[in-house]
Amino acid sequence: MPSDDLTGFPFSAVYGMEDAKRAVQCAMVNPRIRTVLIRGGPGSAKTALSRAAGNLTGRSVVNVPLNVTEEQLFGGMDIDATIREGRAVVQRGLLSRADGRILYVDDVNLLDQRVLASLLDCVLTGRVVLEREGVSAEYPCDTTLIATMNPSDSDISPHLLDRFDLCAYSSFPDDGDGRAEVLRRNVEHQRDPRGFNEMYAPEEEAVRSCMVRAEGLLPLVTMSDDLMAVAVELTARVAADGFRGDIAMVNTAMTLAALNGRDEVTRKDVEEAAMICLAHRRNYMPEPPPPEPPEPPEPPEEEEQDDDDREEPPEPPEDDRDDDREDDPPEEDDGDDRQQPPEPPDMQDLQQMLDEMMFEIGEQFRVIDYLDDGGRVIRRTSSRKGRRAMVESDDATGRYARSRQSDDRVRDLAFDATIRAAAPYQRTREHDGLSISIKKQDLREKVRERRSGCTILFVVDASGSLGVRKRMSAVKGAVLSMLRDSYVKRDRIGLMAFRRDSAELILPPTRSVEYSYRKLEELPTGGKTPLGEALVTVNEFMTSYSRTHQGEMCYIVLITDGRANVPLREGADANEEVRKLAADLAIPQVRWIVIDASSGYIRFDNAERLAQELEGTYFRLEDLNADRLAESVRAVIR
């Protein structure tokens, strides 16, 4: 629906979304709450709510488009004024317009990460420091940031996520009545916006006066030490890093008390605060470790503090249960066990034993250059050849890093630098009625830089079939060897594992190889092989990832024996499904590498066939070992 129709949508007419509404109200009332993130699927009224918040408080909303340049956002040189006035004139950015208003970013996860980091810093410190393109300035930016994102897209990195004071999940009402009500209100609003607003005027006024009262009340609100302890305890229980969670909890609880017309925080305020303060700060918790693994595999020697917290079997007390429900992002870890097909009783113990087993990282070696396809790519048809070809970086993408004098034809003109180059000669040149005269020797072109390195997503089959033969150790060894290789080359590394009936992104792509190492070490093995599910998850993640990382080459290294046994649809042939899926996948900028992890005398060709369908490169695990490969070649020569 076009946003114009929603501009006048009253806050109180937004159906449901209690958490999101609460979060927005808190941010409007308490100036110490500056950043709010609303996560919800398309059509869950995220945008409507943000605009309604503006209407409610009389603060206009400044929208940040996703394709905003750093110059537009933070500011730069005003070339017109500079030429006119003969001195460097600063053009303030979008952020200066946001001063005293609401700053709104839709699909914030698609914003360039570095831009987002700077943006958040400006909003949180309330000022913009500008050192760009020949100008230096500082200006205030006292604003509230409301950002939205679609949770099925790739996530924001945890450390940027932490800078959002509050984060609320909004969901489209799934019951028929709710949907009907949303539709009814929308239709009514579109038919007669004025009348609709009048109808909601009393409610809107009630919300408004409640917020005004809260603003006055806020300085008087007190919070007992006991409740403060509860707030801190809750933050610790979700293993949130740092102190931002604690501070947000207390601020929010106090604001909620004020919104409820009280000058004292109650336990309910703290609980409500937890729902919007802690969900996004929760550290990834692997499934709780098995009560007593029969053969305790070698635990990592150094017990990291984080790990301690995480491994503590979370014992949710009664007051915490609500949180847990709310905290869970769409992917439910807990549901897995229940959905698993029942096994014979005695088998169950065995399965339990095999499940969750953590294998040591096996032998490591020097890897061959597995990213180079070297003609090994098996193409099915030539007509699809271009589909996964390298995205040729076109010159207008990337960040404008600097300018240079071009020797030939200027394609990407650096206007500012050109003016600067021409400026000194303006007094002496013929102007021909132009205010500024530019000659060929003044022309400067932009030198753009793109991120160096590439992204490699390792998708590891952690199912039981690999566990039985301790094959997992070898797989981990191979992955680690490849990680080492990437460490040297400064690639971005992600890790996804699939087993039982789900695929899980364990580590979103990061440059920190150490983190991937730790995650790899902790990776448990066991269960069935949901290869189809894995392909679907990879597709979703990488499609949006490649959209936000334009021009970056991405590789997906799939390590599996290729034998799927969990169909996506009940009763379907899992392997047939995988083949179909693989043939249909078309993720831009992505190349596949399939590493066959199967072992034993009887080799199945599933993995190889999968590589064909994906038009990827195929390797056997053993072939990755550069030294061994060399040995075998040497043997042949001899």
By CB under 8 A, what part of segment 44-83 binds another protein? Answer: 70, 74, 77, 82-83
Q: Does 296 bind another protein (CB under 8 A)?
A: no
By CB under 8 A, what part of segment 124-153 binds another protein? Answer: 125-127, 129-136
- Of the two residues 79 and 595, which places its CB atom closer to another protein in the complex? 79
Given the rule CB under 8 A, which of 1-9, 182-190, 343-351, 396-404 is the region that contacts another protein?
Answer: 396-404
Q: Does 298 bind another protein (CB under 8 A)?
A: no
The minimum distance between CB 247 and another protein, in angstroms, equals 5
Distance CA(159)–CA(533), nearest Å, equals 28
Q: Does 110 bind another protein (CB under 8 A)?
A: no
Site string for another protein, 162-191 (x = CB under 8 A): xx----------------------------
* Three-state DSSP state, 583: helix
Given the rule CB under 8 A, which of 1-9, 166-174, 508-516, 542-550 is the region that contacts another protein?
Answer: 508-516
Q: Does 515 bind another protein (CB under 8 A)?
A: yes
Site string for another protein, 534-573 (x = CB under 8 A): ----------------------------------------
- Of the two residues 390 and 488, which places its CB atom closer to another protein in the complex? 488
Distance CA(468)–CA(526), nearest Å, equals 8
Q: Which two tokens stand for residue 214?
A: 């809260």
What does R_g of the chain's alpha carbons equal in angstroms?
28
- Of the two residues 245 and 567, which places its CB atom closer to another protein in the complex? 245
Q: Does 421 bind another protein (CB under 8 A)?
A: yes
The minimum distance between CB 8 and another protein, in angstroms, equals 34
Q: Does 311 bind another protein (CB under 8 A)?
A: no
Among 2, 176, 219, 600, binds another protein (CB under 8 A): 219
- Of the two residues 245 and 562, which places its CB atom closer to another protein in the complex? 245
- Of the two residues 24 and 421, which places its CB atom closer to another protein in the complex? 421
Q: Which helix (H) or strand (E) holds 636?
A: helix 626-637
Cβ-contact 137, 90 below 8 angstroms: yes
Distance CA(305)–CA(88), nearest Å, equals 52
Q: Which two tokens stand for residue 266?
A: 């109650």
Beta strands per DSSP E along 296-362: 357-358
By CB under 8 A, what part of segment 428-467 binds another protein? Answer: 428, 449, 452
By CB under 8 A, what part of segment 80-99 binds another protein? Answer: 82-83, 86-88
Among 174, 175, 225, 570, binds another protein (CB under 8 A): 225
531 Cβ partners below 8 Å, 6+ apart? 461, 498, 560, 562, 563, 564, 566, 574, 578
* # binding residues, another protein (CB under 8 A): 82
Q: Which two tokens stand for residue 450?
A: 């793109």
Least Cα distance to 526 among 568, 470, 606 occurs for 470
Residue type, 348: Q
Q: Which two tokens stand for residue 46?
A: 């995220």
CA distances (Å), origin 17, targets 180, 222, 238, 261: 15, 28, 23, 21
Distance CA(533)–CA(539), nearest Å, equals 10
Residue identified by tokens 């092989």 is 529
- Of the two residues 496 and 582, which places its CB atom closer to another protein in the complex? 496
Q: Which residues of 99-122 are buried (b: 16+ CB within 10 A; e: fewer)?
A: bebbbbbbebbbbbeebbebbbeb
Cβ-contact 170, 49 below 8 angstroms: yes
Given the rule CB under 8 A, which of 111-119, 322-330, 341-349, 625-633 is the region that contacts another protein?
Answer: 111-119
Among 66, 199, 210, 228, binds another protein (CB under 8 A): 228
Strands 444-449 and 399-405: antiparallel
Distance CA(562)–CA(596), nearest Å, equals 7
Angle at 560 between CA 558 and CA 562, to 5 degrees: 110
Q: Does 512 bind another protein (CB under 8 A)?
A: yes
Among 7, 63, 510, 548, binds another protein (CB under 8 A): 510
Q: Does 425 bind another protein (CB under 8 A)?
A: yes
Distance CA(348)–CA(354), nearest Å, equals 10
Q: Does 363 bind another protein (CB under 8 A)?
A: no
By CB under 8 A, what part of segment 516-535 binds another protein? Answer: 517
Among 1, 183, 236, 586, binds another protein (CB under 8 A): 236
Q: Which two tokens stand for residue 240?
A: 């949130």
Cβ-contact 246, 286 below 8 angstroms: no
Least Cα distance to 492 among 474, 516, 510 occurs for 510
- Of the two residues 246 and 320, which places its CB atom closer to another protein in the complex? 246
Among 1, 159, 347, 468, binds another protein (CB under 8 A): 159
